[in-house]
Amino acid sequence: MARKISFINYKGGVGKTSLIVNTAAALAKQGHRVLLFDFDTQSNASIWLLKLDRWNKINSSGVGAIYSIFDPGKAQLKDIIVKDVVEGKEGEKLLPGLDLVPTAFNLVDLEGEYTGDPKRPAYLQFYEQLAEIEGNYDYILFDCPPNILRASQCGVFSSNEIYVPSNPDALSLIGFTLLVEKLGKFHQLSASFRKSAMGVPAQVQGIIFNSIKTGVDIEVPKMRMQLRLNQFRAAKRVGPNSKIFETQIRDAMIVRRAVTLGLPVVLVMQEGADTAQDSVINDYRRLASEIVRQGAQL
Ligand X SMILES: Nc1ncnc2c1ncn2[C@@H]1O[C@H](COP(=O)(O)OP(=O)(O)OP(=O)(O)O)[C@@H](O)[C@H]1O
Q: Could you say whether residue 17 binds Mg ion (CB under 5 A)?
A: yes
| Contact of residue 252 among ligand X, Mg ion, none (CB under 5-8 Å per partner type) | ligand X
Q: Could you say whether residue 247 binds ligand X (CB under 6 A)?
A: no
| Contact of residue 264 among ligand X, Mg ion, none (CB under 5-8 Å per partner type) | none
CA atoms lying within 13 Å on the CB side of residue 228: 21
Of residues 35 through 54, those in contact with Mg ion by CB under 5 A are: 44
Q: Could you say whether residue 15 binds ligand X (CB under 6 A)?
A: yes
Q: Which residue is nearest to Mg ion (CB)?
A: 17
Q: Could you say whether residue 44 binds ligand X (CB under 6 A)?
A: yes
Q: Could you say whether residue 248 binds ligand X (CB under 6 A)?
A: no
| Contact of residue 213 among ligand X, Mg ion, none (CB under 5-8 Å per partner type) | none
Stretch that binds ligand X, among 23-31, 56-64, 123-131, 249-257 (CB under 6 A): 249-257
Burial class (CB in 10 A: 0-12, 13-18, 19+), 134: middle
What is the three-class DSSP state of 273? Answer: coil
161-166, strands of its sheet edge to edge: 98-101, 34-38, 139-143, 3-7, 161-166, 203-209, 243-244
Q: Could you say whether residue 151 binds ligand X (CB under 6 A)?
A: no
Alpha-carbon distance of 33 to 1, in angstroms, equals 12
Nearer to ligand X, 121 or 165 (CB): 165
CB 258, min distance to ligand X, A? 8
Alpha-carbon distance of 37 to 98, in angstroms, equals 11
Of residues 279 through 298, those in contact with Mg ion by CB under 5 A are: none
CB 191, min distance to ligand X, A? 28
Query: Greatest CA span in the chain, whole angstroms?
Result: 55
CB 154, min distance to ligand X, A? 16
**Strand positions, DSSP E, 167-212:** 203-209
**Strand positions, DSSP E, 110-261:** 139-143, 161-166, 203-209, 243-244
Name the pairing type of β-strands 3-7 and 161-166: parallel
CB 252, min distance to ligand X, A? 5
CB 153, min distance to ligand X, A? 16
Please identify which residue in 4, 11, 16, 29 interacts with Mg ion, judged by CB under 5 A. 16
Phi, psi of 69 (to 5 degrees): -80, -15
Is the dihedral angle over the CA atoms 140, 144, 147, 149 positive or is it negative? negative
CB 44, min distance to Mg ion, A? 5
- The candidate with the shortest Cα–Cα distance to 265, out of 37, 34, 28, is 28
Bridge partners (DSSP) of residue 38 are 143
- The candidate with the shortest Cα–Cα distance to 62, out of 104, 110, 112, is 104
Alpha-carbon distance of 115 to 164, in angstroms, equals 30
Please identify which residue in 2, 5, 8, 18 interacts with ligand X, judged by CB under 6 A. 18
Nearer to ligand X, 260 or 275 (CB): 260
| Contact of residue 256 among Mg ion, ligand X, none (CB under 5-8 Å per partner type) | ligand X
CB 182, min distance to ligand X, A? 15
Binding site for Mg ion (CB under 5 A): 16-17, 44
Binding site for ligand X (CB under 6 A): 12-18, 40, 42, 44, 145-146, 210-211, 249, 251-252, 255-256, 259
